[in-house]
């Protein structure tokens, strides 16, 4: 076909033939070729192709020999045609609506499965704007055809599809004015003459009279209930569903009195009626599911009179009714934007609701899931009261940070000229400080920049105060000053090896820890004469008069350097020495977990021993332990040193 500039019917005929050929070949290339050969503007050609596709679908429906797969193939072809830009974006939704209108419900289920799978396609930019109203109308038509009690699952799938298709802020799917579904009417027997409850109780009494005394066991005894289960209770119980359906009745004075009376009797029955065994109920439900092969759905309450006593004994049924009470109370007490100004509770009503809410929680026990449901409903009402704002918050142009635009400075703007050129920092004082030295890194390394004091200078006062001769009270010592303690810790972390050595001692305060460190530093600092260094430790021989005293070489405590030498030579054999130093197995395991290096483990052993022994951690005692452990050479070297 070279030129199809013919009347409307002729291009329509060619396009229908091309569409059938495209369906058989499962490709739309031939359809695109025929479309391009037709003369005319794009809008007219798209309208013609739309009619051609609907004509092909009409022929398939009239033949009644076409399966659902053939219908879906035509819809897939229309989607490809929309993507290629040769037909209107609404034609796939029109075809879907025509198919669903002409098919029975069992086949509509298969077609709707196709709609669910392609929800990402419908939400794309090419289809969403054009087809959202068609999809909404199509789903509403399906819901009108379906029975809410018999097609519960299908109705739920449609609702879930709409929830996935439309965003939460789409107001067409929101109940903005908080209207109630007044069509949800609970049907029950309202004619007392047709009731079988009275006859049932008469039969039960007759059966009871036939049983002699002593023949009824404890397990067969009826559940005690002060309120008889008769038609009057049956009518009051199911009448409450009308108040749950339309809570606005509770604001009417006479309706509220009726609701109050019926609720008190119902809750009294719940409180006094015996529940079935929970484990038995679970076993019955499991047997029912195993026999049915799937879950059982109940769209409405079963209101038969024969089930009344069983329902009152069912814990799940009772909890559903009580949950309805909690939802009703939440609405009556809550702030709803479209609630009338006359819908206000008085003090008596509010007090009764508070008392009944506590009673409900006592009966059903507190369930986190139900509390979550109620809090979600409250958040939903608050969101609608605020006008349903969008959950996506876009940044406004005013909030976007603006980068300042400035002219790039030339080098001569901040670099001086000549042999004594300076770097200008934009401020006289900054310029002076920056140009004090040409090499700022070397200036920072200068000795004049060394502000950290030495250990002997900083702790001289603390060591002097530690001497009992000076009689300085604890509260006046510098180690009790928090500022001094903070600076002491920083200095110890930079200067003293004792800061990072593990210890088994426990200190109640920072001052106690600093007292211990002062004692160690007093023994090690070489610049302070031994007769002037005082600690608070008392030896057995001097009665605590002197902090440190001159002693023989064998009574000297082990230095840190000596422990390093011994640890390096012990290595992996430190456990042999540990038993002779009377170290416990728990302490040895703690040392092994602190480090994997055997030299470090040996050093930790000696440090732990020194911390435990204190002034008794002498060279002589350590040499004796080394000799006992079989390290005679190390003991001799230690004694000679």
- Token digits for 240? 């409450």
Closest Cα to residue 575, out of 558, 554, 596, 591? 591
pLDDT, greater one: 218 or 329: 329
The rounded distance, in Å, linking the Cα atoms of 458 and 494 is 13
| Residue 428 CB neighbours (<10 A) | 9
pLDDT, greater one: 135 or 384: 135
What phi and psi, each to the nearest 5 degrees, are found at residue 12?
A: -65, -40
pLDDT digits (tens, 9 = 90+) for 144-165: 999 888 888 999 999 899 888 8
Looking at residue 213, its pLDDT comes to 42
Average pLDDT over residues 250-274: 86
The rounded distance, in Å, linking the Cα atoms of 383 and 159 is 21
Closest Cα to residue 28, out of 5, 56, 3, 4? 56
Interior CA angle at 194 toward 188 and 195, to 5°? 70
Indicate the SS3 state at residue 523.
helix
Closest Cα to residue 131, out of 159, 188, 93? 93
pLDDT digits (tens, 9 = 90+) for 333-386: 888 877 887 888 888 999 999 999 888 877 665 566 777 888 888 888 888 888
345 contacts 328 by C-beta, under 8 angstroms:
no
Indicate if the pLDDT at residue 264 is higher than 60. yes
The rounded distance, in Å, linking the Cα atoms of 108 and 100 is 6
Closest Cα to residue 49, out of 21, 2, 91, 6? 91
- Token digits for 609? 């021993």
Give residue 257's pLDDT band: very low, low, confident or very high (50, 70, 90).
very high
641 contacts 622 by C-beta, under 8 angstroms:
no
Q: How far apart are the first and last CA of the chain?
A: 114
DSSP result, 187-256: P----GGG--HHHHHHHHHHHHHHSPTT-S-STTSPPP-SS--SHHHHHHHHHHHHHHH-GGGGGSHHHH
The rounded distance, in Å, linking the Cα atoms of 4 and 36 is 10
pLDDT digits (tens, 9 = 90+) for 41-69: 888 888 888 888 888 888 888 887 678 88
> How far from 534 is each of 215, 274, 464, 510, 554, CA to CA, in Å?
97, 83, 7, 20, 21
Average pLDDT over residues 529-544: 42
DSSP type of residue 423 = B
Mean of the per-residue pLDDT values of the chain: 77
The percent of residues in the chain predicted with pLDDT above 90, rounded, is 6
259 contacts 240 by C-beta, under 8 angstroms:
yes
Closest Cα to residue 160, out of 182, 190, 139, 129? 139
Indicate if the pLDDT at residue 296 is higher than 60. no
Minimum mean pLDDT range among 339-348, 361-370, 414-423, 527-536: 527-536
The rounded distance, in Å, linking the Cα atoms of 640 and 272 is 94
pLDDT, greater one: 163 or 546: 163
Cβ-proximal residues to 58 (8 Å cutoff; 6+ apart), any chain: 98
pLDDT, greater one: 429 or 410: 429
Average pLDDT over residues 97-111: 89
- Token digits for 67? 């399966």
> How far from 616 is each of 382, 520, 543, CA to CA, in Å?
74, 14, 16
pLDDT, greater one: 299 or 604: 604
Indicate the SS3 state at residue 618.
strand
The rounded distance, in Å, linking the Cα atoms of 599 and 224 is 80
This prediction has a pTM of 0.45
Angle at which helices 128-145 and 105-117 pack, to 10 degrees?
Answer: 150
Biggest CA–CA distance in the chain, Å, is: 130
Looking at residue 216, its pLDDT comes to 38
269 contacts 230 by C-beta, under 8 angstroms:
no
Indicate if the pLDDT at residue 254 is higher than 50. yes
Average pLDDT over residues 459-472: 85
Average pLDDT over residues 471-495: 86
Indicate the SS3 state at residue 415.
strand
Cβ-proximal residues to 370 (8 Å cutoff; 6+ apart), any chain: 323, 326, 364
Indicate if the pLDDT at residue 91 is higher than 70. yes
pLDDT digits (tens, 9 = 90+) for 203-226: 554 444 444 444 434 444 444 455
Helix (H) or strand (E) holding 91: helix 91-102
Write a three-state SS string for 542-583: CCCCCCCCCCCHHHCECCHHHHHHHHHHHHHHHHHHHHHCCC
Looking at residue 129, its pLDDT comes to 87
39 contacts 72 by C-beta, under 8 angstroms:
no
Looking at residue 112, its pLDDT comes to 92
Residue with tokens 């009179």: 305
What phi and psi, each to the nearest 5 degrees, are found at residue 557?
A: -75, 155
Average pLDDT over residues 524-537: 49
Closest Cα to residue 298, out of 146, 152, 186, 183? 152
Looking at residue 529, its pLDDT comes to 47
Q: In sequence order, what are the beta bridge partners of 415?
A: 423
Minimum mean pLDDT range among 6-20, 109-123, 308-322: 6-20
Give residue 266's pLDDT band: very low, low, confident or very high (50, 70, 90).
confident
625 contacts 615 by C-beta, under 8 angstroms:
no
The rounded distance, in Å, linking the Cα atoms of 11 and 544 is 120
The rounded distance, in Å, linking the Cα atoms of 225 and 227 is 6
| Residue 211 CB neighbours (<10 A) | 10
* Dihedral (Cα; 332, 338, 341, 347), 10-degree rounding: 10
Cβ-proximal residues to 289 (8 Å cutoff; 6+ apart), any chain: 295, 296
């Amino acid at each position: 076909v070279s030129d199809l500039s013919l009347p409307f019917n002729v291009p329509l005929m060619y396009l229908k033939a091309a569409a059938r050929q495209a369906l058989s070949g499962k490709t739309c290339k031939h359809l695109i070729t025929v479309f391009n050969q037709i003369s005319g503007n794009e809008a007219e050609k798209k309208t013609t192709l739309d009619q051609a596709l609907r004509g092909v679908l009409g022929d398939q429906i009239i033949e009644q020999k076409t399966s659902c797969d053939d219908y879906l193939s035509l819809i897939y072809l229309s989607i490809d045609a929309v993507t290629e830009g040769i037909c209107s974006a609404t034609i796939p939704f029109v075809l879907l609506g025509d198919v669903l209108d002409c098919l029975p419900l069992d086949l509509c289920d298969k077609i709707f499965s196709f709609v669910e799978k392609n929800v990402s396609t419908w939400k794309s930019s090419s289809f969403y704007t054009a087809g959202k109203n068609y999809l909404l109308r199509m789903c509403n038509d399906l819901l009108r055809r379906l029975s809410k009690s018999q097609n519960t699952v299908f109705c739920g799938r449609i609702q879930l599809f709409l929830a996935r298709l439309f965003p939460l802020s789409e107001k067409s799917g929101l109940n903005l004015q908080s209207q109630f579904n007044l069509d949800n009417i609970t049907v029950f027997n309202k004619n007392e003459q047709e009731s079988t409850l009275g006859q049932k109780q008469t039969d039960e009494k007759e059966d009871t009279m036939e049983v002699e005394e002593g023949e009824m066991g404890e397990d067969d005894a009826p559940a005690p209930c002060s309120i008889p289960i008769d038609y009057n209770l049956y009518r009051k119980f199911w009448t409450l569903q009308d108040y749950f359906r339309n809570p606005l009745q509770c604001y009417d004075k006479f309706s509220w009195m009726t609701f109050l009376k019926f609720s008190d009797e119902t809750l009294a029955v719940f409180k006094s009626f015996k529940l079935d065994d929970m484990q038995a109920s679970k076993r019955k439900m499991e047997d029912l599911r195993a026999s049915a092969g799937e879950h059982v759905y109940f769209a409405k309450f079963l209101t038969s009179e024969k089930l009344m006593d069983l329902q009152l004994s069912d814990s799940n049924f009772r909890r559903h009714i009580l949950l309805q009470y909690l939802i009703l109370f939440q609405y009556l007490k809550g702030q709803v934007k479209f609630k009338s100004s006359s819908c206000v509770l008085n003090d008596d009503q509010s007090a009764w609701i508070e008392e009944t809410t506590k009673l409900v929680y006592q009966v059903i026990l507190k369930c986190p899931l139900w509390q979550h449901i109620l809090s979600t409903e409250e958040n939903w009402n608050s969101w609608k009261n605020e006008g349903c704002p969008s959950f996506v918050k876009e940044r406004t142009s005013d909030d976007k940070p603006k980068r300042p635009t400035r002219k790039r400075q030339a080098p001569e703007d901040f670099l001086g000229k000549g042999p004594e050129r300076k770097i200008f920092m934009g401020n006289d004082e900054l310029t002076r400080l920056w140009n004090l030295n040409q090499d700022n890194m070397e200036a920072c390394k200068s000795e004049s920049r060394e502000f950290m004091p030495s250990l002997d200078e900083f702790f001289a006062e603390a060591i002097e105060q530690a001497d009992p001769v000076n009689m300085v009270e604890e509260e006046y010592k510098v180690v009790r000053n928090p500022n001094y303690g903070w600076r002491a810790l920083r200095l110890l972390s930079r200067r003293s090896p004792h800061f990072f050595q593990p210890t088994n001692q426990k200190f109640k305060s920072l001052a106690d820890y600093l007292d211990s460190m002062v004692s160690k530093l007093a023994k090690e600092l070489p610049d302070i004469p031994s007769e002037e260094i005082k600690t608070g430790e008392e030896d057995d021989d001097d009665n605590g008069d002197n902090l440190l005293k001159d002693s023989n070489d064998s009574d000297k405590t082990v230095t840190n350097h000596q422990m390093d030498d011994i640890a390096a030579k012990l290595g992996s054999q430190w456990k042999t020495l540990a038993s002779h130093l009377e170290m416990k197995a728990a302490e040895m395991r703690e040392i092994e977990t602190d480090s994997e290096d055997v030299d470090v483990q040996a050093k930790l052993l000696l440090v732990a021993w020194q911390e435990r022994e204190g002034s008794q951690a002498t060279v002589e005692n350590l040499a004796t332990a080394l000799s006992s452990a079989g390290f005679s050479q190390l003991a001799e070297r230690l004694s000679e040193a």
